[in-house]
Structure 1
Amino acid sequence: MATQDHRPRVAAERRERMRMRLLSTAVRVGAEKGPAALTIDDVVVGAEVSRGSFYKYFPSTDALLQDVGRQIANELVCMAEPLVQGFDDPAERVAGGIRLVARTALDKPVMAAFLVRLGWPDVHSEDMLLEFVRRDLSAGIRAKRFARMPITLALNIVAGSVIGAAHCMLHPDCEPDFAEQAAAAALRGLGLDREEAKSISTRRLGTIQWPGNGLFAETLALAD
């Protein structure tokens, strides 16, 4: 019986570990100096690799940051999806998503700082996280839970609430319920009245279970 060759699998695992190391280094450095100021030298020094190793994975820092954005979006969606999909109401799903992502500032401040420094998302992109929000906003507009408006406007309302909340919650003097306040403000912007928006935004919400692998885990491990 032929012995199975494990070398391709081992090589693939090694490549993925290096890719995640470069991504997590970009997050840590980008959280401090801003993604726009990130250089290849910052990444290779922080990750303790050669420039040649960097170029095996990414042709530029722009390509690296695009991969970081996709990875963060994918992980946030995978972690938030099981919690917000427990709600039938699109307004509850949108509010829950805002609260969960904003709370990243408390649980994973390095990741949140990077997202804040990354700035306003391109709401016309096919980013997985934006698609996740777009789905619920579209459902809410169709069901007349939200006011009729262009979907790009609705996305900007939600994105602004998330970024603003995360920015505030990175500071120790921020109100402990700021994520709920931001979610309520977003729902009012989407057309709900003040009392219902507040009620929805303060309902019991589960806690994200952070996985033991992936970009969040790798970034935390390198920060220790």
Structure 2
Amino acid sequence: MPSSSPAPAAPQPLTRGHKKRERTRRGLVDAARRLVARKEVGEIALLEIAAEAEVSNGTIYNYFRTRDEVLEAVGIAMATEFSDAISVLSSGLHSGAERLCVGVRMFINRAGDDHPWASALLRIIHFGEATRSRLAAHVLDDLRQGRREGAFAFEDEGIALDLVLSCTTGAMRAVVEGRTVAEHDVRVAEMVLKALGVTPAKARKIASLPLPVVNMDT
């Protein structure tokens, strides 16, 4: 007997007003990101974000009620954008250990290429749990697959996650502060793999593999 429920409505295209609202919101988030790169999170005021974005004080309250809401949006955007990009680039890798290694190295290398981005992420990752959760989602997938494959031998998933995130962000901070060694990303990734139970020889081999590159033709 056919269902009497109506068929789902097709998604409606964004109106000009919706597009303008989204542009304004994105501008506020980008402005907050620039401020976070320059100063400590606790020093940033909501109206300062409005000034940076060149909008009226009243406008910002149409999108965010508090500074914390803006900063959470910044953290989620930064974590999601780069983590998703790494996932796409490493989609051809079937090894959890290899994918984890790619993620660690690419975050460290991005810190070297873009100090303001790294400074902003480092300040905000400890501020909002949502940012950490977005980063953790990708790492957990790789940790679980690596353990299923027998490459990782950790006992506690939470501790393993903390290890990866702490080592990666610590290495990013070292890059920003100019405290790096030769092949900094490779050495950090190698040590992370060994801490997760990978044999020294295999850890060195995996950490030294070429990183995936963006295909500019797609």
Common topology (TM > 0.5): yes
The aligned residue for residue 154 of structure 2 is 148
- Summarize deviations over 1:118-156 as a string: whole Å, max 9, x none: 244878988332111111111112222111322111111
Kindly report the root-mean-square deviation, in angstroms, between the aligned alpha carbons of the 2 structures. 2.5
In the other structure, the counterpart of 1:127 is: 133
Higher Cα radius of gyration: 2
> Partner residue of 1:184?
190
Q: 1:199 aligns with which of 178, 201, 205?
A: 205
Distance (Å, rounded) in 2 between the aligned partners of 1:200 and 1:52:
52
1:214 paired residue number: none
| Corresponding position of 2:46 | 40
Aligned equivalents of 1:176, 1:61: Cα separation in 2: 39
Distance verdict in 2 for CA 1:123–1:43, change over 3 Å: closer
Residue 67 of structure 1 is matched in structure 2 by: 73
* Alignment partner, residue 85 of structure 1: 91
Offset of 1:78 from its aligned partner? 2.3
- After TM superposition, the structure 1 stretch with the greater mean CA deviation from structure 2, 95-104 or 36-45, is 36-45
Q: Structure 2 vs 1, CA of residues 99 and 172 (structure 1 numbering), >3 Å: closer, same or farther?
A: same
Is the CA contact 1:105–1:170 (under 8 Å) kept in the aligned structure 2? yes
State yes or no: 1:12 paired with 2:18: yes
Contact 2:95/2:145 (CA < 8 Å) preserved in 1? no
Q: Tell me by how many angstroms 1:159 deviates.
A: 0.4
Once the two structures are overlaid, the 10-residue window that deviates more, 77-86 or 52-61, is 77-86
**Any idea what SS the aligned residue of 1:103 has?**
helix
Gaps of 5+ in 2: 1-11
Higher relative contact order (CA 8 A, sep 6+): 1
Check conservation: 2:71, 2:124, Cα contact below 8 A. no
1:43-70 alpha-carbon deviations (Å, 9 max, x no partner): 1121121221111111111111111111
Match of 1:24?
Answer: 30
Identity of aligned pairs, percent?
27
TM-score of the superposed pair, with normalisation by structure 1: 0.82
Q: Secondary structure, in 3 states, of the residue corresponding to 2:62?
A: helix
Distance 2:155 2:62 in 1: 45
Aligned 8 A contact 2:112 2:176 in 1: yes
Alpha-carbon spacing, 1:124–1:114, altered in 2? closer, same or farther (3 Å)? closer
Structure 1 position 183, deviation (Å): 0.9
Choose the corresponding residue for 2:116, options 93, 100, 110. 110
TM-score by length of 2: 0.84
Deviates more, 1:69-78 or 1:167-176: 167-176
Question: Which of 157, 165, 170 lines up with 1:164 in the alignment?
Answer: 170
AA aligned to 1:112 is A
CA distance 1:7–1:190, change in 2 (3 Å): closer
Summarize deviations over 1:182-216 as a string: whole Å, max 9, x none: 11111111111222212111101123579xxxxxx
Residue 77 of structure 1 and its aligned partner are, at CA, apart by 2.4
Count of matched residue pairs: 205
Q: What CA distance in whole angstroms lies between the structure 2 residues aligned with 1:128 and 1:173?
A: 27
